[in-house]
Amino acid sequence: MSSDAARQLIARSNRLGSDPKNTNYAGGNTSAKGTDTDPVTGEDVELMWVKGSGGDLGTLTEQGLAVLRLDRLRSLVNVYPGLDREDDMVAAFDYTLHGKGGAAPSIDTAMHGLVEAAHVDHLHPDSGIAIATAVDGEELTGKIFGDTVVWVPWRRPGFQLGLDIAAIKAENPQAIGCILGGHGITAWGDSSDETEERSLWIINTAADYITAHGKPEPFGPALDGYGALPEAERRAKAAALAPTIRGLASVDKPQVGSFSDAEVVLDFLASANHPRLGALGTSCPDHFLRTKVKPLILDLPATASVEDSIARLTELHEQYRADYRAYYDTHATADSPAMRGADPAIVLIPGVGMFSFGGNKQTARVAGEFYINAINVMRGAESLSTYSPISDAEKFNIEYWALEEAKLQRMPKPKSHASRVAFVTGAASGIGKAIAARLAAEGACVVIADLDLAKAQAAAAELGSTDVAIGVQVNVTDEAQVQAGLDAAVLAFGGVDIVVNNAGLSLSKPLLETTEADWDLQHNVMAKGSFLVSKAAARILIDQKLGGDVIYISSKNSVFAGPNNIAYSATKADQAHQVRLLAVELGEHGVKVNGINPDGVVRGSGIFASGWGANRAKTYGIEEDDLGKFYAQRTILKREVLPENVANAVAVLTGPDLSHTTGLHIPVDAGVAAAFVR
């Protein structure tokens, strides 16, 4: 990238996109026009660099830009077939690309190319959309900005909107930008700095006007009984409701959840007008494509019991699905894509907060952020006027737009564990860490539960952001800590689908040297700990009604009588039988329960490093450093068992290929005949 214009564009985009008051995640687009050398002719050629489809301004790089020849782009005006066929113009953009072209051009490319300005910003600021969605938005635009900013009536993004804005700029030479009805803002300038200044001036002027002239209670008076619960109480209620809500949001397709009890959400739900405003839905296309047309709102006060709330949510969900089906049937045509799903993406609980859903954690989290944007928009519009979003018909035309459908079809196929949430105990090291890494690599969200919080958080950070993994402190022998860890899981990701009972320790002693404390410690951590984790997790799995998997990392010692490990082997046998018992009991809920019997995993093992390895080596009369090789030589395959081998078995058992397998113990021991399950 040799153009100064393009470099300035990226810097401007990153500054604008890094501040949420300017635009939402992946919302809006920016452009710059300039010249570069045509490698074919060696002559200067006029180009436009514009943020490509699906990119985010705050993190935009050169690879996220589409690069087009300006002369060819503007020549498309001559072949534009009219509004009925404007979608054809998106494919025509491919014939205007310069070189390899970079990112795919977005639907807004025409807006940038046809406007006679060196630099253009199109943004989705809350303050600007508040004006754009007010019932008297055109009048407000004139009152706030005079003739410096021009009102543009709602039109779906596309080639015609680009022509409209180009004409408005030409007819209003004094204007620096426009308010797009129901949508956002656009600004232009002769330089990158000037355009950025104008964009910010429009955003800040709108915000300042709302602050100075807005009503003190835009959402109406406080609604009795709907105020925010104390933090601990509302988060406990959120954790209790989360599995049921996730199940309701996943009837058509499994979803990952995200929870927010941000003050803006709680204040909205505590106000008298929230039912009316929520029913109107969002307006900006970026908003409702992420949040669906409207949220599901529980119509009970904050003090309602968990049981009453669940019963009412179930009723409201049935009505929501019926309403969404009616919305689809009313507006669909013979050419419309099939209905994608009738479950809500946003669920609002008065006094508690907001649950948002998507195919992965980032999508779920961003959906919630977009609804917060929508609340801010409604507040601004209601402060000055009356909130009046675009019609359901227009929303449908965008939600089921052929171009939007094509964009969805281009998305990569989900990985095997996408939309699943795994809770792995003892996962900060050794086998547990390998399991967590493998499940995350397969697309799962992972909760790393470990006795050592710092190590759990560090292991989670190795896997990626908190959209991928979190670390929590859990002593599996403590019922309260187990519940707290699972509560953290459901608040982070909406629920739990995979539970791996991996936490363990071992002491190698013969019978006469094994103390009562030795026995109790090992049975508390593994037998009792697995029981406590499985019991608490089963409640979540049952409430979700999505099935799930419980995995026990047992041991070949659960069936093999080795020397000097009475306490360890006995508790492993206990775990092995828990697998069989729970497979029978949880099967009616679609929950599979299986076990894995590894042989000694020496490398990377916390158990072996803590003294077990030295004791076992002494038992067998070998050096501790040779223990892995010793174990390998006694196997049929002569292979050492590694943490990754156990992780592979977990991935297979919890993946799509063994959907009909439960109550199974898989040996991962390289072949120990004495431990064959029979």
Residue extent(s) of CATH 3.40.225.10 domains in the chain = 4-213, 231-410
**pLDDT more than 70, % of the chain:** 98
Among all chains, which residue has been given the structure tokens 């950070």?
Answer: 461
**442: Cβ–Cβ under 8 A, 6 or more apart, which residues?**
415, 416, 417, 418, 651, 655
Torsion-angle region of 371 (φ positive above 0: left; ψ -120 to 50: alpha; else: beta) = alpha
Distance CA(241)–CA(358), nearest Å, equals 18
Query: In the 8-state DSSP scheme, what is residue 243?
Result: H
How far is the C-alpha of 122 from the C-alpha of 142, rounded, in Å? 20
Contact criterion met (CB below 8 Å) for 148 and 174: yes
Residue 164 contacts residue 122 (beta carbons within 8 Å): no
More confident residue, 172 or 676: 172
Please give the DSSP secondary-structure letter assigned to residue 62. Answer: G
3-state helix, strand, coil in the chain (%, to 5): 50, 15, 35
Do 48 and 120 contact (CB within 8 A), yes or no? no
Residues 6+ apart with CB under 8 A from 173: none
| pLDDT of 101 | 66
What contacts 493, CB < 8 A, 6 or more positions away?
256, 257, 258, 361, 421, 445, 447
User: CA-to-CA distance for 426 and 218, rounded, in angstroms?
Assistant: 50
Tokens for 402? 């052929």
Does the annotation mark 568 as catalytic? yes
Tokens encoding 254: 């499994």
Sign of CA dihedral 260, 261, 264, 270: positive
Bridge partners (DSSP) listed for residue 44: 37
What is residue 601's predicted lDDT score, i.e. its pLDDT?
A: 78
Q: How confident is the model at residue 95 (pLDDT cuts 50, 70, 90)?
A: very high
CA nearest neighbour of 375 among 287, 448, 305, 444: 287
- Catalytic one of 25, 226, 568, 631: 568
Sheet with strand 44-51: strands edge to edge: 97-102, 65-69, 44-51, 29-37, 119-123, 184-189, 177-180, 149-152
Q: Is the pLDDT of residue 678 over 90?
A: no
Q: Is the pLDDT of residue 503 over 80?
A: yes
SS (H, E, C) 617-630: HHHHCCCHHHHHHH
Q: Does domain 4-213 have CATH number 3.40.225.10?
A: yes
Per-residue pLDDT at 591: 98
Q: What is the pLDDT of residue 283?
A: 85
Work out the average pLDDT over 579-593. 98
pLDDT tier at 675, thresholds 50, 70, 90: confident
What pLDDT band is residue 1 in, cutting at 50, 70 and 90? very low
Q: Are 300 and 309 in contact (CB under 8 A)?
A: yes
Q: Could you report the per-residue pLDDT of 365-423, keeping only the tens digit for each?
A: 999 999 999 999 999 999 999 999 999 999 999 899 888 777 777 778 999 999 999 99
Could you report the per-residue pLDDT of 321-358, keeping only the tens digit for each?
Answer: 999 999 999 999 999 999 999 999 999 999 999 999 99
Closest CA to 49 of 116, 120, 139, 154: 120
**Could you tell me where in the chain the CATH 3.40.50.720 domains are found?**
421-601+641-673
Mean pLDDT of 134-153: 97
The predicted pLDDT at position 402 comes to 82
Burial pattern 382-417, b for ≥16 Cβ within 10 A else e, equals: bbbbebbbbebebbbbbbbbebbeebeeeeeeeebb
Residue 161 has pLDDT above 90, yes or no: yes
Band (604; pLDDT cuts 50, 70, 90): low
Q: Are 29 and 106 in contact (CB under 8 A)?
A: yes
Contacts of 102 (CB under 8 A, 6+ apart): 52, 62, 63, 64, 65, 66, 67
Burial track 117-151 (b if 16+ CB lie within 10 A, e otherwise): bbbbbbbbbbbbbbbbbbeebbebbeebbeebbbb
Phi-psi region at 505: left, alpha or beta (left = phi > 0; alpha = psi -120 to 50): beta
**Cβ density class 288-300: b for 16+ within 10 Å, e for less:** bbbbbbbbbbbeb
Predicted confidence band of residue 614 (pLDDT cuts 50, 70, 90): confident
Mean pLDDT across the stretch 556-574?
89
Q: Which CATH class is domain 231-410?
A: alpha beta
Both tokens assigned to 487: 């509560």
Residue 263 has pLDDT above 90, yes or no: yes
| Mean per-residue pLDDT over the chain, rounded | 93
Contact yes or no for 425/449 (Cβ under 8 A): yes
Mean pLDDT of 278-307: 92
| pLDDT of 516 over the 70 cut | yes
Give whole-number Cα distances, 235 to 229, 276, 300, 306, 484, in Å: 9, 26, 17, 12, 11
Tokens of 469: 């993994």
| Integer Cα distance of 578 and 595 in angstroms | 9
C-alpha 155/C-alpha 285 separation (Å) is: 11
Q: Has residue 619 got a pLDDT over 90? A: no
Q: Residue 100's pLDDT band (boundaries 50, 70, 90)?
A: confident
Least confident stretch, 82-86, 117-121, 169-173: 82-86
**Interhelix angle for 430-441 vs 643-654, to 10°?**
50
Specify whether the CB–CB gap between 159 and 171 falls below 8 A: no
pLDDT at residue number 677: 78
State which H helix or E strand residue 382 sits in.
helix 361-384
Q: Which of 53-67, 114-128, 533-547, 628-642 has the lowest mean pLDDT?
A: 628-642
Please report the beta strands in 510-613, taking only residues with DSSP state E, as ranges in sequence order: 548-553, 591-598
Residue 129: which residues within 8 A CB-CB, separation 6 or more?
183, 184, 283, 284, 373, 377, 380
* Average pLDDT rounded to a whole number, residues 580-594: 98
In which residue are the tokens 């063994």 written? 658
Tell me the per-residue pLDDT of 20-50, one tens digit each, with 9 for 90 and over: 899 888 789 999 999 998 888 889 999 999 9
State the CB neighbour count (10 A cutoff) for residue 517.
10
Q: What pLDDT, on the 0 to 100 scale, is given for residue 409?
A: 76
At residue 469, the 3 state secondary structure works out as strand
Structurally, at CATH architecture level, domain 421-601+641-673 sits in 3-Layer(aba) Sandwich (3.40)
Q: Which residues contact 559 (CB under 8 A, 6 or more apart)?
A: 573, 576, 597, 665, 675, 676, 677
Pairing of strands 296-297, 119-123: unpaired
Instruction: Please name every residue paired with 594 in a beta bridge, in sequence order, or none if there are none.
Output: 551
CA–CA gap between residue 388 and residue 111 (Å, rounded)? 25
